[in-house]
Structures are given as C-alpha cells and as structure tokens.
Amino acid sequence: MIRTRVWGENFHDRLNHICQRNYPTGMHNCIADALRSDEIEVSVSIFEDPEHGLSEENLNNTDVLIWWSHSRNEDVPDEVSQRVQRRVLDGMGFIALHSAHLAKPFRNLMGTGCGLTWREANEKERLWVVDPTHPIAEGIGRYFELEEEEMYGEHFDIPAPDELVFISWFEGGEVFRSGCTFKRGRGKIFYFRPGHEMYPTYHDKNVQRVISNAVKWAKPTSNERPNYWANVPPMEPLKKPITVFE
C-alpha cells in the first residue's frame, strides 16, 4: 500500500460558495476519495490542522504527499516548509497541484521563481500527451480536455523538467508545460497544472487518473536514506603516500 496524504488549504472550499458547491466535502476529500484503491491508502490534512497537518510523525508515515494551496502559500511557516522539503529529499514523493507552483516547499525544491502568466476566463484547456511512454500518461489517449479552467501561460519559471509529460493548449492563445517530473535527492516530484478552485476539475476522470498514476510513479524506492556528507577511507590502495596537512 502506498501511504498517500492529500494536503488541502481548505479555505476557498469553506469560504467561497462556488468552490463549496464544487467540493461540498472539501477539495482534498474529493481528491482523496478518487485515489483510494487496492494499492493506495489515503489520509487528508488541512492548513488549520495542528502543525498544519504536517508534523514529523505525519510526514514520516507518508510515502507520497499531494499538495494543493493558493491564498495561504505564504502563511505556511518556513519551518514546516523545510520539514516537507527535507522529507522529499529523503524519499517522499511530492505532487504539487495547480497554484502550488508558488507553495514554499515547491519553490525551494525548484530553486527558481516559479512565476507564470494567468487569467481567469472560463477557457477551454486541452492537455496533450507528449510522452506516451510515461506511466503517468497511462490510460490517457492522445489528449484530454477540460471545458473551463483558469489559464496558466509560459514562460513558466522552473528548471527544465526531467521529463515533460503534458503540454496545455488554451483557447486564449497560450501554451503551458502542464505535467512535469523532477527528481530531487531521493524523492520524485510531479507538478500537475489543472485545478482552479472555481471549477469542478478534480471530479474529472482523466485528472483523477493522472493523479493516481502519479502517486504510483512517485512512491519511494527502498534506496532512500539520510543525505550524505562523509569523509571516507580509500577503497583501493593508493600509489602515493598521504600527506597530513597541518
């Protein structure tokens, strides 16, 4: 079983009536319900939980963390963000959804500004599969569509992704690298663009399929271990004497 945790900001889905209508039990629960399966077990956490739901204990028992955030990106304490980042470097999978491109742990794992252009205009988004070999695209055809979404446009200020899985087309004239994988330390990261709170995006079967595929892809190898920084003896006999520098 892959121990998966869906972390939701849970603000819009409590405070905005459109978002509430889309997600009566909260966006995080909609995502969590769609993921549960024979291979995936799911917990949820929200911003208002103690330690923002991201205690050492919670993280240590999480194989893959899914993160949706937006208006509270800056309110996540640095200490909590660093804890998440360390745990990713230690092997935990991390799936950043939509406006989590500006979540502190994501930005710090990328090292870049993670900026982009955006527009809320009920546009059609069409996500094209550009890597059909990728397990994250499993079961998705050549493309899929979302009838109405927020637009995110290039240039998206991220490092070149290790693998580019989806590129979005938007009605208003932009393109966007919508599905990107990264490896950092011992952890795997997937950024997935769709999911503005004003649309019922996480009810979409293709979106659910992609996230579920991503959880399976992002599960840690057993190779994870503390990050290394060590003085080591030679493995082979050296041909020169070792000078001890004073």
Give residue 60's identity as a one-letter amino acid code.
N
Give residue 81's identity as a one-letter amino acid code.
S
Residue 148 sits in the site that holds a second copy (CB under 8 A): yes
Q: How far is the CB of 121 from a second copy (least distance, A)?
A: 5
Residue 74 sits in the site that holds a second copy (CB under 8 A): no
The pair phi, psi for residue 98, each rounded to 5°, is: 50, -120
Residue 59 sits in the site that holds a second copy (CB under 8 A): no
Interaction with a second copy in 107-146: which residues (CB under 8 A)?
Answer: 108-113, 115-124, 126, 128-135, 137-143
Q: How far is the CB of 26 from a second copy (least distance, A)?
A: 19
Binding mask 152-171 for a second copy (x = CB under 8 A): -xxxxx-xx-xxx--xxxxx
Closest CA to 163 of 183, 180, 142, 187: 180
Residue 1 sits in the site that holds a second copy (CB under 8 A): no
Tokens of 240: 């020169």
Identify which range of 3-11, 20-28, 44-52, 148-156 contacts a second copy by CB under 8 A.
148-156
Closest CA to 123 of 171, 78, 165: 171
Q: How far is the CB of 104 from a second copy (least distance, A)?
A: 12
Among 24, 38, 57, 238, binds a second copy (CB under 8 A): 238
Q: How far is the CB of 161 from a second copy (least distance, A)?
A: 9
